[in-house]
Amino acid sequence: MTSERTRRRMIDRLRENGIRDERVLAAMYEIPRHVFVDPALSSRAYDDTSLPLGHGQTISQPWTVARMSELLLADGRQPQKVLEIGTGCGYQTAVLARLIREVYSVERIGALLDRARMNLRTVKLVTPRLVHSDGRLGLIEAAPFDSILMAAAAPALSEELINQLAPGGRMVLPIGNEQEQYLWVVDKTAHGVNRTRYDAVKFVPLLPGKS
Ligand code: SAH
């Protein structure tokens, strides 16, 4: 159930559903998603579905992880430094670490961050820097970032996060409420901020504070 064939099938399905970036597909083929999910759910680790993580949180659906990663790299971008907000189990963090040299990831739930750290060690990825904090504030001590990827839905775009983007940088994030959310791409250019709306998505909400 966690065999190479099962993984290959997940990649084929991502391709059928419009994911085109070969770098993203290769990264997702290489990272064993079952390591990141609860052992009781590992038979479903390669289904294209989100799964419960505990603490009321979910590991994002593979298609969503692929889509967001692809958007970060699109238009010939080669980001060197990325901030992920909402580490969860660390699966998206692992995919980013395959694609971008410097990865920072913040999570507000300490117990999830500990698990993510363990999961990343299991797949021998030790370079991502994981920080226990409220990602609504970004990560000022490591800013600016070429890319910011947010894995929880915010009601609106935050000025603070745009400030932490490097000139020419890009942020990919879900904006909306429990009922309706869309993926947005926000580019910081010399002339201001460009926003483009993409797919309808479903993320857990961005919450304040840490626990
Ligand atoms: N990329 C993750 C998705 C996890 S779900 C994965 O692949 O597993 C979203 C995560 O965002 C949850 O773990 C949740 O605790 C976290 N989160 C929500 N609000 C946050 C905030 N203000 N700062 C940091 N993390 C936050």
**pLDDT tens track of the chain, all 211 residues?**
567 899 999 999 999 999 999 999 999 999 999 999 999 999 999 999 999 999 999 999 999 999 999 999 999 999 999 999 999 999 999 999 999 999 999 999 999 999 999 999 999 999 999 999 999 999 999 999 999 999 999 999 999 999 999 999 999 999 999 999 999 999 999 999 999 999 999 999 999 999 9
23: in domain? yes
Judge whether 210 lies within some domain.
no
Residue 121 lies in a domain: yes
Q: Is residue 91 part of a domain?
A: yes
Please identify, by atom number, the ligand 1 atom nearest to the C-alpha of residue 59: 8
Q: Whose CA is nearest to atom 11 of ligand 1?
A: 86
Task: Please report the pLDDT score of residue 1 as a whole number.
Answer: 58
Angle subtended at Cα 106 by Cα 97 and Cα 142, rounded to the nearest 5 degrees = 80
Q: Is residue 61 included in any domain, yes or no? A: yes
Residues 6+ apart with CB under 8 A from 6: 46
Q: CA 64 to CA 67: how far, in whole Å?
A: 5
Tell me the C-alpha distance between 65 and 101, whole Å.
18
Please tell me the predicted confidence (pLDDT) of residue 2.
67
0.85 exceeded by the pTM? yes
Indicate whether 171 belongs to any domain.
yes
Q: How far is the CA of 85 from the centre of ligand 1 (A)?
A: 6
Q: From residue 86, how far is each of 16, 148, 193 by CA, in Å?
A: 27, 11, 23
Q: Which of 204, 210, 211 maximizes ligand 1 atoms within 8 Å of its Cβ, making it the mutation to test the pocket?
A: 204
Q: Is 179 exposed, middle or buried (0-12, 13-18, 19+ CB in 10 A)?
A: exposed
Number of independent structural domains in the chain: 1
Question: Environment class of residue 61 by beta-carbon count within 10 Å: exposed (0-12), middle (13-18) or buried (19+)?
Answer: middle
The domain in which residue 158 lies consists of: 4-200
DSSP summary character for residue 46: T
Q: For atom 19 of ligand 1, which residue has the closest CA?
A: 206
Examine the residue annotation and report whether 60 is marked as an active-site residue of this protein.
yes
Look up the CATH number of the domain holding residue 149.
Answer: 3.40.50.150
Amino acid at 136: R
d(CA 116, CA 45): 16
127 CA from centroid of ligand 1 (Å): 19
